[in-house]
Chains A and B, each alone.
Chain A
Amino acid sequence: YFDNVPQAPADGILQLSVLSKADSNSRKVDLGVGAYRDDNGKPWVLPVVRKAEQQLAQEAGDHEYLGVGGLPALTNGAQKLIFGADSAAIREQRVYSIQTISGTGANMVGAVFLKQFKQPTDAAVYISKPTWGNHRNIFETAGHEVREYRYCNYSTLGLDIDGMLSDLRAAPRGQIIVLHACAHNPTGIDPTAEQWAQIADVMQERAHFPFFDCAYQGFATGNVDRDAYAIRLFVERGFELFVCESFAKNMGLYGERTGCLHAVVASSARVAAVSSQMNRLSRATISTASAYGAKIAGKVLQDPELYNEWIENMELMSARIMDMRTQLRARLEKLGTPGDWSHVTSQIGMFSFTGLNLAQVERLRTEFHMYLTNDGRISVAGLNTGNIDYVAMAIDNVVRN
């Protein structure tokens, strides 16, 4: 009966992971992984998360269904975290937040909602060139036309702000623009505050709809308010917008699938209709989101002691990443590796666009047992004091030869 079902292509990043796992070489370095690693290259469950789990175990709660909107401790806490506890939008009751299956689930709910309700009805979704691999997939699956706006300047490995503003200006009015709130994936290139203001200006001019994807709040600079700057700027400017918020990285909750979609609307009168439709469509995909990760995150967000400990844990992660960036750049400059390596420290977050080409990436894989994606993206989290010398040497080698 299913003779007509063809073999689907394998996921690129998963393939990399398969290759990496199969490699038994002792110097192997996995720089493809999209998850934080400690200095021993191991997954790190945040101490505050373990603490919250112990508390939950002692409370001996149940496994009852959450409401369709999700766990209030999570959604309310997440709202305050992303928009700021003193946010006018929250005070004016102009925000609806629904719990989702992490960031992907939030993107999906937002995408499906917009397919049904976007104005104009033929508005396309614009994603940065490049962006997270799943963005195009999610929006196309939801039925949108997907276009790209220029983002990465491949020569400087910095932001092509002129290209970006030009593309946003040239787009028809009222398009949907996917923006990375901070720690752009895959490039690590974030706009400065001035550049965000320019982006906001153009988006206001063209009446575009901001669709923020925020998977690294607190993880980028270690400071949750600084990392939410762009979102809060747009809210202050009076935009209606969506924010996809993930706790996968910043709380290390990855597989627990904990996230939210926030909708900021123009007036509180609009919230009832928007929330009812969002609830309806979420009910038809998952019914309700998963409880366990939400309970952990809810606890951390609502308990001042745990919250402070979480900030400390997050500062630790982002500091280690920044340290690895500093050290990698220093080693490459010391080796005299051809090229400008300042982007290693000016880029932000988990990922770094190295500028290495496909041939160089393949050599790193086959000769040096170093695994990174074909676009030259490395996961800085995969660097540690044990492998950084080797990594610098390997990069130096493939750049020179």
Chain B
Amino acid sequence: MISSVVRASLLRRVVGIRAQSTWTQVKMGPPDAILGITEAFKRDTDPRKMNLGVGAYRTDAGSPFVLDSVTQAENQLLHEKLDKEYLPITGLPQFTRAAAQLAYGSSSPVLDRLAITQSISGTGALRIGGAFVQRFCEGTPTVYVPGPSWGNHKAVFGDCGLTVKPYRYYDAKTRGLDLEGMLEDLSNLPRGQIVLLHACAHNPTGVDPTPDQWARIQSVVEENGHVAFFDMAYQGFATGDTDRDAHALRTFVEAGRAPVVLAQSFAKNMGLYGERVGTFSVVGASRDERARLESQLKILVRPMYSNPPVHGARIAARVLTDPELRSLWLSEVKLMADRIIGMRVALRSRLEKLGSSVAWNHITDQIGMFCFTGLTAAQVDRLAQEFHIYLTRDGRVSMAGITSANVDYLADSIHAVTQ
């Protein structure tokens, strides 16, 4: 080994060179908005504090909810002492088959021409989908996302080299859907763009189109030759019924006029968050096309991560295919959805009881994990500083953070800052 003196001087020289040349141009990345809220919430010592930025379901006791169906599946699997061999590139076949049936309907005629791959939950599915459209859609189309949409959509598609633009969606005046604005925007686009649609339980607004509104959206997408890119992260979580929540997706697919691709997540509806369970799929025109599409999905996945994680996929496959576990799971999904709906009702009714001059019907009109309250940034800041209630400055509340113990406090606080 070289002497420590020589080593030290080499070190100084190399370190000096390195400190200059390699990373000096790396700027600090943008702060994460949601992380900021979590940090502030953690620092707060007030016993009444509420974290309404949380993106994961919480029980009425404010705890994470590990589904019983999931735990049972996990225990069964542990008992079976399976190996940990690599999955195929496109993942666990029992899982992707069952996931496809759940999304598209078990008797859907497209199942045998569906190209599907397991993915790193919803984000991974979007990433594969973005890479797929970037490579195979004619004319390098732009991805259009609703205004507003989940913050990470722009980052994921942007990193695929795609341009991301908004279409009108949320109407701040009504706190509902700006349907005419949306239809106008989608009609005015060049043909063949990628239209990202939240299948149900829109994030962050909770504003979903009605079936009639979906029909009109579908016509416009089809007439303009756009690709319908569905993001379904809350199937079952919106209405409590997995078939109902998949209605928009299935209607598009059944019509067969617009190309459909789907990013599917089991993070929320199975509580599998950190296990990263999801799929990306493309509805093909034929079995032959499916084979071609699947071969290309494999090409996209291999350099990203080779093959997906096995544990969560095994759990999901077991839950979906074991009749008892599936039945239990569906009841637990309904339980989660019902608790959220219950909190919406409780929040709205308390606000109305307090004699608020503001209209709060949107709290129960909106659906799913999130509620766009309509609170201004200033009001949100007051809620944090004066009432120890933390939410994102766009006024989005995560309903999962509300419990029967704190819903009244929340209503009272919102009332205080909106009078």
Contacts and interface: CB of A to CB of B under 8 A. Distances in A.
Contacts of B17: 207
Interface string A332-376: 000000000000000000000000000000000000000000000
Q: Which of B55, B274, B285 lies at the interface centre, i.e. has the most chain A CB atoms within 10 A of its CB?
A: B274
A280 interface: yes
A70 B118 CA distance: 21
Nearest to B159: A284
A211 interface: no
Interface residues on B, range: 35 or more
Nearest to B276: A290
Interface string A1-21: 111111111110010000000
B271 interface: yes
Contact of A64 (B21, B273, B306, B311): B273
Contacts of B120: 101, 285-287, 290
Contact of A276 (B19, B29, B84, B87): B29
Contact of B85 (A1, A35, A238, A276): A35
Interface in A29-59: 35, 43, 45, 49-50, 53-54, 57
B21 A174 contact: yes
A266 B18 contact: yes
A255 B311 CA distance: 8
Given A239-B14, A290-B309, A45 B83 contact: yes
Interface residues on A, range: 35 or more
A113 to B, nearest CB: 9
Contacts of A138: 303
A289 B56 CA distance: 16
B259 A1 contact: yes
Contact of B7 (A2, A14, A236, A254): A236
Contact of B289 (A5, A49, A108, A248): A5
A164 interface: no
B311 A290 contact: yes
A50 B311 contact: no
Given A209-B22, A270-B26, A238 B14 contact: yes
B10 interface: yes
Contact of A57 (B29, B74, B306): B74
A265 interface: yes
B289 A117 contact: no
A274 B273 contact: no
B411 interface: no
Given A101-B120, A134-B302, A285-B124, A2 B289 contact: yes
Nearest to B22: A240
A51 B298 CA distance: 34
B292 A2 contact: yes
A137 B302 contact: yes
Interface in B300-352: 302-312
Closest 4 CB pairs of A and B: A276-B29, A291-B274, A255-B310, A101-B305
Given A43-B84, A238-B10, 6 more contacts: A3-B285, A11-B302, A57-B75, A64-B274, A238-B11, A285-B159
Interface of B: 7, 10-15, 17-19, 21-23, 25-30, 32, 55-56, 64, 66, 70-71, 74-75, 78, 81, 83-89, 120-124, 127, 136, 138, 152, 155-156, 158-159, 227, 259, 267, 271-276, 282, 284-285, 289, 291-293, 295-296, 298-299, 302-312
